[in-house]
Chain A
Amino acid sequence: MDFQLTKEEQLIQGAAREFAEKEIGPAVEEIVSSNRVPEEILAGLRELDLFALPVPEVYGGAEAGYVCYILAMEQIARVCPGVAVILSVNNLAAAAVNIFGTEEQKKRYIPQGTRGDTAFSFAFTEPGTGSDPKQLAATAKKDGDHYVLNGTKRFITNSSYRGPIIVFARETETDQVNAFILDKFCEGYSVSEPWNKMGVKGAPLHDVYLRDVRIPAENVLGGLGKGFWILKVAMALGKIGISSIFLGAMLAAYEDGLRYAVEKTHRGEPIAKFQAIQMAVADMFMKYESCRWMTYRLGSLAERAKDKGDILKDSAATKIFVTETAVDVARISMGIHGSYGVMEDYRISRLWKDVIFGPQVEGVSHLLKVLVAGEILRK
């Protein structure tokens, strides 16, 4: 075993870090206050191929492994988690089309996730459920060689950007769940006002309304009745993105805590001289290091898995552990900051509002634990 990044991995990590610090860093205040990511930044991320790392070059992807993906996402999220959320959903959906799509679908849709000013959405959650696929209420009614979709999808990232969307809906005749791929803003597609979320600012989040959206039958993704399988794979892959994002946010919280500990003085000495602060520094380090290697390993598992659904247990476990630990580290860092930490002037106050998203999205922690335990006990 060799816990060393290859030179390529180091360069990709370095490129993401350089872009994040030079281009995103100076815009963070604006992103947070306007809850919008400037188009130049998105264009720059596309140039660097960060919109579609794990898809083949023929469709405009970078054909990079999941470890590279994690390293890049961590660096972007370290500077601005909201920007990384946009990338995460796009990468996940593009990868799903690459795995399950027909050649036609891949040629038509994947490039929209890598070039131009378009981005993918992935719509599973509904007002009625975000964790239980069995409760899906959106419908798809067969009409000749077309389907007609109806329903509301809640909390859909990137849904205000043009580009493709993957929608999960129940076929009225057979009651089975299918995944469909279609263009956003086609007839019958509309979005709500943006949700006013407390953190991960910049990533657009709206409800999606589907009112008699008519699409050809060939827009079914992965075949009829394959909805749950696709969902399982997508969930497994999506959690790689979420884990990297909150790993990056954790790193930022750790760095801020460390910096404050050596900068802030008490009676002329840095507070890092106090043992209590030293405990906190060691805790942050241990937590970050354990999460980091757990996430990188997940990337390596994903690279080797033939059926990406096979990594769901590890993916869910990593996602739970990293997102919960990111909250811990932010709390510790906040503690080091004292009352300054709750002032908007300090970045930790913003990170605090970001890290709490981790355990709440893409499956809440305790439900994912049930899933993890189920997989372990099944054997």
Chain B
Amino acid sequence: MRIAVAMKPVPDLLQIRMKDRRPVLEDVPVVLGAIDRSALEIAVELKEKTSGHIVVLMAGDGRLEDTVKEALAAGADEALLIRDARLNGADGSLSAHALAAGVRKIGPVDLLLFGEGSTDNYSGQVMSRVSEILGIPQAGYVRDIVVEGETLIVTRSLEDEEEILEIRPPAAFSVLSEIREPRIPSVTAILKARKKPATVLSLDELGVGTGSGAGVETVSTLAPMTGRKGERIPSLEELVRVLRKEAPGGGA
């Protein structure tokens, strides 16, 4: 089975500071999204069961060669990096066109995997857009994938129900982080990742035109005002008093 996993380079959220309510993104290391790592893990499992092949697709504007090494160490076989200044802060539509063009470039794939949402933006629309562009069936919020002959049996986990779906490849899925716990790569795997092929292409080289963005414009991004006073409670007695005062029902 040929599997493509779309992995988004995201700023390491733990290292973002706020200055005047604005996020400071300079010098923040770029890492793989947490949920994308789980998507790669199920891909590796399916690859091992079906003697398959995994290509990582990554679209962004930074130094993707370094970021993708973690994915190559964790079991991907090769990478297609789509690097373009236009992808800086791109909306989901442009990313989707870039990724769909990437899938076409690497040739037929049976399975296209995504995280259910990126750790930074969490808009969860890229998988759906790519599926439409490629004209393939999709399932979101997948908790498990099993291969049954020619068919994929996937469990989609919604708020109040779970659906067991039968889908024939090629198909695209977005997975939940609980689908698999991402492995810790071994030293050998990390060092070997250096030798795995990673191709870099620009949007022009992939034939993604300038009209592909869907014009979502960001007016502002600010940390919310909290306006909470953080009053220190000095003693357990005082804590009990505050709890009684603030409890909506008056606290027993």
Contacts and interface: CB of A to CB of B under 8 A. Distances in A.
Contacts of B187: 12, 15, 48-50, 53, 62, 64, 68, 72
Nearest to A23: B184
A263 interface: no
B66 interface: yes
Contacts of A7: 66, 69
Given A15-B185, A268-B232, A62 B66 contact: no
What class of interface size applies to chain A in its complex with B?
20 to 34
B191 interface: yes
B194 interface: yes
Interface of A: 7-8, 11-12, 15, 18-19, 22, 47-50, 53, 57, 62-64, 68, 72, 268
26 contacts: A7-B69, A8-B69, A8-B193, A8-B194, A11-B69, A11-B70, A11-B73, A15-B184, A15-B185, A15-B186, A15-B187, A15-B190, A18-B184, A19-B184, A47-B186, A48-B184, A48-B187, A49-B188, A50-B187, A57-B188, A62-B186, A62-B191, A63-B191, A64-B191, A68-B187, A268-B232
Query: Most B CB atoms within 10 A — which of A7, A49, A62, A72?
Result: A7
Contacts of B66: 7
Ranked 4 nearest A-B pairs via Cβ = A62-B187, A49-B187, A7-B66, A62-B188
What class of interface size applies to chain B in its complex with A?
10 to 19
Contacts of A64: 187, 191
Interface string B173-204: 00000000000111110110110000000000
Given A7-B66, A15-B187, A64-B191, 15 more contacts: A8-B69, A8-B191, A8-B194, A11-B73, A11-B190, A12-B190, A15-B184, A15-B186, A19-B184, A47-B186, A48-B184, A49-B187, A49-B188, A57-B188, A68-B187
B184 A8 contact: no
A49 B191 CA distance: 11
Interface of B: 66, 69-70, 73, 184-188, 190-191, 193-194, 232
Contacts of A268: 232
B188 to A, nearest CB: 5
A62 B193 CA distance: 13
Contacts of B73: 11
A63 B66 CA distance: 21
Query: Most B CB atoms within 10 A — which of A49, A53, A68?
Result: A49
B186 A49 contact: yes
A19 B183 CA distance: 10
Contacts of B193: 8
A57 B187 CA distance: 11
Nearest to A62: B187
B186 A48 contact: yes
A72 B73 CA distance: 16
A68 B66 CA distance: 17
A53 B191 CA distance: 11
A63 B184 CA distance: 18
A114 to B, nearest CB: 10
A12 B185 CA distance: 8
Contacts of B232: 268
A311 B232 CA distance: 56
Contacts of A49: 186-188
A22 B183 CA distance: 12
Contacts of A53: 187
Nearest to B68: A7
A201 to B, nearest CB: 24
Nearest to A50: B187
A66 to B, nearest CB: 13
A49 B69 CA distance: 18
B190 A8 contact: yes
A262 B98 CA distance: 47
A215 B88 CA distance: 67
A7 B190 CA distance: 9
A11 B232 CA distance: 41
Contacts of B186: 15, 47-49, 62
Nearest to A60: B188
Query: Most A CB atoms within 10 A — which of B70, B191, B193?
Result: B191
Nearest to A18: B184
Contacts of A22: 184
Nearest to B29: A10
